[in-house]
Amino acid sequence: MDLVEETPYRFRIDRRDPMRVPGVVFATRSLLPDVDADRSLDQVADVATLPGIVTASYAMPDVHWGYGFPIGGVAATDVADGGVVSPGGVGFDISCGVRLLAADLDRAALGPRLDALLDGLGEATPRGMGTGAVWHLADRAELDAVLRGGSRYAVERGFGVPRDLARCEDGGAVDDADPAQVSERAVQRGAGQVGSLGSGNHFLEVQAVAEVYDEPVAAAFGLAAGQVCVMIHCGSRGLGHQICTDHVRAMERVMPGYGIQVPDRQLACAPVSSPEGRAYLGAMAAAANYARANRQLLAHAARQVFRRVTGGELALVYDISHNLAKIETHDVAGAPRRLCVHRKGATRALPPGHDDLPDDLRPVGQPVLIPGSMGTGSYVLTGVTGAPAWASTCHGAGRTQSRKQATKAVRGHDPRQELEAQGIAVRGASRRGLAEEMPAAYKDVTAVVAAAEGAGLCRRVARLVPLGVVKG
């Protein structure tokens, strides 16, 4: 793959048939994927072939190999000009995202109660591959209410406070969700998991604000140096996975009828305005609302434990997704256009003044939450005016090793002991689960964030460090 270095933080893949637009990779040379081991740059070029794609196929600094789209891929298609929606541009864990809560006490005050807090959070957080959840839904009608209402419905039922919704992307729920487009198999997989963490790279982490780069913006977000926080990373569980599976298959069947050819079957797609496109968007929105409710319920459980152990409260800083396709209006060649913006392992980063921000955040921009790999720092960023890539930025560190490779690499080591030697308490994780998520399996999150900032995608506000983690 030939790359043209435009700036130290931006590389171009020139357009060639059948690409409709060039590829643009935001990274430094040290962060670029190893082309012998990771074909994600080929995927950037493949995405550039999608019907209706505009401007470029983008990749964030944490880019790595994914299903169809690379993880860290961003692409927008023009709804009025044959633009398509591709489930591979969202991924299997629909609306996987991050929620950050800020405590009303600092690290020093928490110190003697950290172990009790981690024990309580471990007991209160259902996790792993199977069922088990904070919220036991009564029936299919109640699940449909979750699929339509997301965090809004959870708050109505007493799992949170109204202010939470102002600090959630989309006010806590994606509009136009259509539970009728969710298969019975997806319903079965999701019915018993509302308020559960899952496995893999998902976690609930107790953190402290180690460094503040912009005090006025941090204060607007509700953050200060030394403050204790809780970060929750999870998504739509088996329900979202099944929805992606179902709709990829449906789009594979209908593509020939629309005259669509793609270089990889994992890029199966359909016009946004087609019955199949609308069906997927309705099901995807339902899964996104499920994920929002999932994080809302986990936050509710964490608040109860935090209140019992410390006597303190947790206030929501923000909740943001990094696997979603959204219909948004953006300027293209100086004219506003309705675009279907796919963000796959990428985070929306709205600039100051954006109409979709709540009043208290509009002057400073949207909080952007970037979790590090386990045992490393995480970052809070904000959106910036004039950013490229449809107001999007990175979503994390980005893997450099598969889970199998990571497990092999730590043979002879004790991952739990190594984390605890760094002062990081661990609850509920198997040795294999820890091995798969150790920092050596990921890029350096600090370098990723620096590259995103250098490329003009976002701006740093604060750095958080882990005190303890609950894993599946």
Active site residues: 395
Asked if 77 contacts 85 with a C-beta cutoff of 8 angstroms, the reply is: yes
If residue 331 lies in a helix (H) or strand (E), which one and from where to where? strand 323-332
Q: For residue 179, is the peptide bond before it cis, meaning its omega torsion is within 30 degrees of 0?
A: no
| Burial class (CB within 10 angstroms; exposed 0-12, middle 13-18, buried 19+) of 440 | middle
C-beta separation of 41 from 13 below 8 A: yes
Q: Is 203 annotated as a binding residue?
A: yes
Q: Would the annotation count 414 as a binding residue?
A: no
For residue 201, say whether it is annotated as part of any ligand binding site.
yes
In this structure, the dihedral spanned by the alpha carbons of residues 162, 163, 169 and 170, taken in order and rounded to 10 degrees, is 40
120 is written with which tokens? 């309580």
Residue keyed to tokens 């926080």? 229
Q: Is 438 known to sit in a ligand binding site?
A: no
395 is in an annotated binding site: yes
Pairing outcome for strands 227-234 and 335-344: unpaired
**Residue 76: Cβ within 10 Å count:** 31
Pairing outcome for strands 23-26 and 57-64? parallel
Instruction: Please check if 220 is assigned to a binding site.
Output: no
Helix 140-156 and helix 275-310: axis angle, to 10°? Answer: 50
Annotated ligand binding at 294? The verdict is no
156 labeled binding residue: no
Using DSSP, state whether 135 is helix, strand or coil: coil
Tokens 């793959």 appear where?
1
Under DSSP, the state recorded for 70 is P
Is 205 labelled as part of a ligand binding site? yes
Is 204 annotated in a binding site? The answer is yes
Task: Write b or e for each residue in 257-279: b if 16 or more Cβ atoms lie within 10 A of its Cβ, otherwise e.
Answer: ebebebbeebbbbbbbebebbbb
413 assigned to a ligand binding site: no
Are 220 and 364 a contacting pair, CB within 8 Å? yes
Count of residues in the chain: 472
Residues in contact with 52: Cβ distance below 8 Å, sequence separation at least 6, in sequence order: 77, 78, 79, 81, 82, 83, 84, 271, 272
Known binding residue 202? Answer is yes
471 annotated ligand binder: yes
DSSP string, 230-277: EEEEE--HHHHHHHHHHHHHHHHHHGGGGT---SSGGG--EETTSHHH
Burial class (CB in 10 A: 0-12, 13-18, 19+), 39: middle
Could you give the CA distance from residue 294 to residue 300 in angstroms, rounded to a whole number? 10
Binding residues for Mn(2+): 93, 202, 233, 322
Binding-site annotation: residue ranges for GMP: 201-205, 322-323, 371-374, 378, 395-398, 471
Residues annotated in a binding site: 93, 201-205, 233, 322-323, 371-374, 378, 395-398, 471
